[in-house]
Amino acid sequence: MRLQDNPSLYYAYFHFWKVVPVLIIPETANTHLNGIEQEMGKFRQQFLLEAALDLKASLAKENIDLILLKKDENLIPTLKEICNAYEIEHTVTSYPRGTYEGNILGALCELTAVFTCEDDNLVAMDELPFTELPKVFTPFRKEIEANLDVRDMTQKPLLKKFKDCHKFTDSFELIQHPKHPNSAFPFTGGEAAAHKRLNYYLWESKSILDYKQTRNELIGENYSSKLSAYLALGNLSPVQVYYAIKDFEAQVEKNDSTYWLLFELLWREYFILIALQAQTKIYSPQGIQNKKAKSYTNNIQKFEQWCTGNTEHPFINANMKEFVATGYMSNRGRQNVASYLVHHLKIDWRWGATFFEKHLIDYDISLNWCNWMYVAGVGNNTRNKVFNPTLQQERYDPENAYCSLWNGSIGLD
């Protein structure tokens, strides 16, 4: 969802004389456990719509109507109607990362020729320096770092006027939910907001210079980049972030922290590739490992206590309360609550991944499911790390500031 550095958009406008822009928006979250749709968390939905409407407004300024379509049972018939009405022969889109996107593309393949572009990646897939993707991250990172060849950014294309007369577009109601005053993620969706955040984190506040020291903190807007949701929705490309960091390093300073943000982008890259390779295995209990699946007790009451932040552990509760109240949780928090669900409560990791999918503003199919597999010990692990929430709380919330913020003044709810 962006105009700048968008290979699909560039390809479409460069190669075809008429372009009909269509954006498909999910209103529900899929659950990969039983195929039933679940309601999407309100903060995730709001951010998604903000981003979509921002793109629509940007295109409207160029005399272009963006057709917004709901991802529901009418989607494929409507796409067919659009193809017929505008005599569409080619579809250009991002490389699909999820099964549902793949299915939509499958249906489009029957109507038009389809071209996919790698809009989400840092390194082009056919330029990866391996024949087989390493099973763990470190060899992947080392090999990529030694051969890093990031593509040039694409220009904003010369856009061609298109009027849809609102015949096909679905309407969406953007509901503005008040942001929690303690939210670490009080940002708005959209391309302009994404650049504002990137600019602030690097150039204005220079918070990036301390990223390696602050990234495990829990309170506030600037302990980490908060770029995840913009990357997940494509309001920013990883290529743009990469060049912004390189630019900053050249003009201001290069240190361990600036490197570490790039390091995290490589985790993102790795999980995108792992998920593409693993396909639907990422939703299976044994993940991508060929071991026998663990047995879980799956106590529903304990799961509900986890979801609502009412477990026996204040550190877990604080994180879950923040999550439901804002749609965001720090990486430290995510690792802890996931580990607690799987290893302490003995609940199927996929229940947790599904709950995250519902609420996370930065939900990304590959990052969510691969991180959950990792914590559950069924992903790209060499060892199975179990977090001790008491020690984690002592280390990362020594003054009880975070637990007090979300659980009440004494940090014990």
Ligand X SMILES: Cc1cc2nc3c(=O)[nH]c(=O)nc-3n(C[C@H](O)[C@H](O)[C@H](O)COP(=O)(O)OP(=O)(O)OC[C@H]3O[C@@H](n4cnc5c(N)ncnc54)[C@H](O)[C@@H]3O)c2cc1C
Binding site residues, ligand X, CB under 6 A: 215, 224-228, 231-232, 261, 264-265, 267-268, 271, 330-331, 334-335, 338, 356, 360, 362-364, 367-368, 371-372, 375
- Closest approach of ligand X to the CB of residue 226, in Å: 4
Closest by CA to 387, choosing from 299, 305, 313, 324, is: 313
Concatenate the DSSP letters of all residues of 373-408 into one string. HHHHTSSS-SS-----HHHHHHHH-TTSHHHHHHH-
- 225 neighbors 182 (Cβ within 8 angstroms): no
Q: Which is nearer to ligand X, 46 or 228 (CB)?
A: 228
Distance CA 367, CA 137 (A): 13
- Closest approach of ligand X to the CB of residue 135, in Å: 16
Is 340 marked within a binding site?
no
Q: Which is nearer to ligand X, 117 or 231 (CB)?
A: 231
Give kind and range of the element (H or E) at residue 28: strand 28-29
- Closest approach of ligand X to the CB of residue 355, in Å: 10
Is 225 marked within a binding site?
yes
- Closest approach of ligand X to the CB of residue 208, in Å: 9
Distance CA 265, CA 367 (A): 11
How many angstroms separate the Cα of 338 from the Cα of each of 6, 306, 310, 334? 34, 10, 15, 6
The tokens of 402 are what?
Answer: 């975070």
Is 363 marked within a binding site?
yes
Is 362 marked within a binding site?
yes
- Closest approach of ligand X to the CB of residue 400, in Å: 22
How many angstroms separate the Cα of 179 from the Cα of each of 188, 321, 359, 367, 406? 10, 14, 14, 25, 15
Is 210 marked within a binding site?
no
Is 200 marked within a binding site?
no
- Closest approach of ligand X to the CB of residue 175, in Å: 22
Distance CA 307, CA 337 (A): 10
Buried b / exposed e along 140-176 (16+ C-beta atoms within 10 A) = bbeebeeeeeebebbebeebeebebeeebbbebeeee
Q: Which is nearer to ligand X, 95 or 374 (CB)?
A: 374
- Closest approach of ligand X to the CB of residue 60, in Å: 29
The tokens of 120 are what?
Answer: 């989400």
Q: Which is nearer to ligand X, 302 or 350 (CB)?
A: 350
- 320 neighbors 360 (Cβ within 8 angstroms): no
- Closest approach of ligand X to the CB of residue 185, in Å: 8
Is 226 marked within a binding site?
yes
SS (H, E, C) 39-107: ECCHHHHHHHHHHHHHHHHHHHCCCECCEEEECCCCHHHHHHHHHHHCCCCEEEEECCCCHHHHHHHHH
Q: Which is nearer to ligand X, 66 or 245 (CB)?
A: 245
Residues annotated in a binding site for FAD = 211, 224-228, 362-364
- Binding site, by residue number, is 211, 224-228, 362-364
